[in-house]
Amino acid sequence: MSLDPSRLAPMADAIRALSMDAVQAANSGHPGMPMGMADVATVLWSKFLKFDPSAPDWADRDRFVLSAGHGSMLIYSLLHLSGYERPTMDDIRNFRQLGSPCAGHPENFLLDGVECTTGPLGQGLAMAVGMAMAERHLNAVFGDELVDHRTWVIAGDGCLMEGINHEAIGLAGHHGLGRLNVLFDSNAITIDGSTDLSTCEDIPARYRATGWHVVECDGHDFAEIEQALAAARDETTKPSLVVCKTVIGKGAPNKQGTAATHGAPLGDDEIAAAREELGWNHPPFEIPQDIRDDWRATGEAGKSAHGEWKQRLSGHAMANEFERRMAGELPDMGEIEKAFAAWLDDDQKVATRKASQMALEVINPLVPETIGGSADLTGSNNTKAGEIGPFTADDYSGRYLYWGIREFGMSAAMNGMALHGGVIPYGGTFLIFSDYCRNAIRLSALQQTRVIYVMTHDSIGLGEDGPTHQPIEQVMSLRLIPNLNVFRPADVIETAECWQLALQDKYTPSVLCLSRQGLPQVRHDGDMLSAKGAYRLKAADADRKVILIATGSEVALALDTAKALEEKGVGADVISMPSMELFEQQDEAYKADLLPDAAPSEILRVSIEAGATLGWERYTMANGLQIGLDRFGASAPAGDLFEKFGFTVDAIVPQIMNKLKA
């Protein structure tokens, strides 16, 4: 498309008008960024971005990520103007109102064309890195005919100041992601005022030092913008940063260039002045037909590219496999299930991190879309399995990622990979460092992505590394995140089951909490019991007086405790609860069978988990007994710690007996 500047300017002003009017109508929002980046976005959309508004899920479309998600009116304007079915003008009129897909920040689950949820700064860019990695990987697997697209990002000063920026661009530079282009909205303004208040870094120099190609342009000069974007596009061995010098709120004559335009409506007077300044004489939410036509034309090139692509796909030898993978459908799991079922007959004492590796040895060869890695703890997380080779700039077909010491960057990139589609990412770190990537885990959940977190060293059982490395509150705190399955398997069997459940859930991310220390095999029968979230592993021999509920490494301890209780004539059930979330989804009858409604004096419920107790009262009742750890750990061998903190039969049984007497 080769529109001349005289036609681009009104197109950009249409974005400005929609943005300022929608924010004003909502009486909240961020007009400054869309108005500042309107010119750049117009050039990108009309001359570079490969997209087909009639097919937002076309696999080979370019991905566009608005990392500076607060400027959401920019993407809503772009999608509407270029002819996506949604948002409609009514949707835009209802910006930020209940029920409108035009939410305060862009949400991938509300609108096609929104590739990912953004707002938490820096993560959009990091997700884009993952998308660009997925693209190169699928290109290596399926070839140029099927996969050959770019990832474009708009990011602001906030995105570039966040720590995750360092991790993300380090990955992109290291992997030579030449098809990743970041358009930096360099307006020198943050919420608090001038960027001089808080930073004096030379951003281009930093990006160059990290292996990036950097170009600059006046973000309000269409020719310069086009030249810069072309230079970014043409550099194919390095990711590109396009520094777009812009004026925040451009077009609002009295407020532009100031923080006042960032996050508040401009006000009626300033909007009137902006209309004057821009020569935009149209009422709110009305776009003249000629401008609308020019916008509609931006999708034409993409539509025809899409047509050609469909030709190439039909009859392609790998078409079925490609479509299966892009649809997120698993291959037949029969062989995997068979392999896991055979383990029931063994009696393997292994750490669940090792069991996870054993599961992956089975899974990875049979599920070619897995792409795994670790944040520099490969040998500890046991994530490398099944003969997968490294993903490198020289060979993108590799399925193993050395993420480096970048937990947050890894997690956000995995979100991007999953959102791109065609791959199922899993990544490892120590469970304690879920704290470092917590908001990316939350975005996995919010965005409904199938990302699998392999988090090992899941309790004081890690031993000598001490309190900085010992999770206490992590397992329970992850359970608090909506739409996240937290698994804490007890042995090799549950670990395999949990891996299978994680793979099978297309819209819910999973965290596997795995032990460093060896755990005895507690299961020798039963088919996929973990799917219920919790199940009765052992029924009381004597008259049931106690129900022990345990997870992970404490299930074996619960079994030993039950044995000791039975020897005293106290009947005790043992319930293994690998996932609270899945248990919550069971029907009332199932729940009541496991946890019958009875006063503690009749049946005492006891939870055993080497972590925070707050939350366990849901299952033990407040006057049950919660065996756990509500303080920081200590540095010592694991056995000494379990002893010190009371995770032994000898320490637990008397507490139960006392409680029964009370």
Q: Which of 1, 28, 85, 311 binds a second copy (CB under 8 A)?
A: 28
- Complex with a second copy: residue 103 or 252, whichever CB lies closer: 103
Q: Are strands 63-66 and 151-156 parallel, antiparallel or unpaired?
A: parallel
- The single residue among 623, 650, 654, 658 that binds a second copy, judged by CB under 8 A, is 623
Cα gap 178→125, rounded to integer Å? 15
CB of 100 to a second copy, least distance (A): 8
Indicate which single residue of 31, 53, 170, 427 sits in contact with a second copy (rule: CB under 8 A). 170
Q: Cβ distance 75 to 123 under 8 Å?
A: no
For a second copy, which is the closer residue by CB, 190 or 456?
190
| 438: exposed, middle or buried (Cβ count in 10 Å: 0-12, 13-18, 19+) | middle
Of 398, 617, 649, 651, the residue at the interface with a second copy (CB under 8 A) is 617
Looking up tokens 């200590």 gives 634
User: Rounded CA gap, 249 and 508, in Å?
Assistant: 38
| Inter-residue contact 93 to 124 (CB < 8 Å) | no
Element (H, E) at 510: strand 510-514
**Which string of b and e fits 138-173 if b means at least 16 CB within 10 Å?**
bbebbeebbbbbbbbbbbbbbbbbbebbbbbbbbbb
Rounded to an integer, what is the distance from CA 593 to the centroid of its chain? 36
Smallest separation, CB 525 to a second copy (Å):
31
Q: CA 148, 155, 220: angle at the middle one, nearest 5?
A: 95
Instruction: Write each residue from 637 to 656 as x if it is in contact with a second copy (CB under 8 A), else as -, in one continuous string.
Output: x--xx--x------------
Q: Which 282-321 residues touch a second copy, going by CB under 8 A?
A: none
258 binds a second copy (CB under 8 A): no
Residues 385/392, Cβ–Cβ less than 8 Å: no
How far is the C-alpha of 631 from the C-alpha of 608, rounded, in Å?
Answer: 15
Stretch of 127-135, 413-421, 464-472, 514-522 contacting a second copy, by CB under 8 A: 464-472
Stated as kind and residue range, the H or E segment containing 639 is: helix 638-644
Could you say which residues in the range 336-375 bind a second copy, by CB under 8 A?
374
Q: List binders of a second copy among 56-85 (CB under 8 A).
A: 69-70
Residue showing tokens 């970014």: 232
Cis peptide before 654 (omega within 30 of 0): no
- Scanning 2-10, 195-203, 499-507, 566-574 for contacts with a second copy by CB under 8 A, the matching segment is 195-203
553: contact with a second copy by CB under 8 A = no
Binders in 429-458 for a second copy, by CB under 8 A = 432-433, 435-436, 438-439, 442-443, 445-446
| Min dist. Cβ of residue 598 to a second copy (A) | 11
For a second copy, the closer of residues 37 and 375 by Cβ is 375
Asked if 661 is part of the footprint of a second copy (rule: CB under 8 A), the reply reads no
The least CB distance from residue 281 to a second copy, in Å, is 29
Closer residue to a second copy in complex, CB, 46/72: 72
- For the CB of residue 17, give the shortest distance to a second copy in the complex, in Å: 20
Among 228, 472, 572, 577, binds a second copy (CB under 8 A): 472
CB 50 within 8 A of CB 309: no
The interface region with a second copy, picked from 6-14, 197-205, 541-549, 567-575 by CB under 8 A, is 197-205
3-state class (DSSP) for residue 478: helix
Determine whether 167 is an active site residue: no
Q: Shortest Cβ distance from residue 159 to a second copy (Å)?
A: 8
Kindly tell me which of 373 and 489 has the beta carbon lying closer to a second copy: 373
Among 57, 163, 272, 568, binds a second copy (CB under 8 A): 163
Q: What's CA 631's distance to the chain center, in Å?
A: 30
Cα(first)–Cα(last) distance of the chain, in Å?
Answer: 81
Active site residues: 407
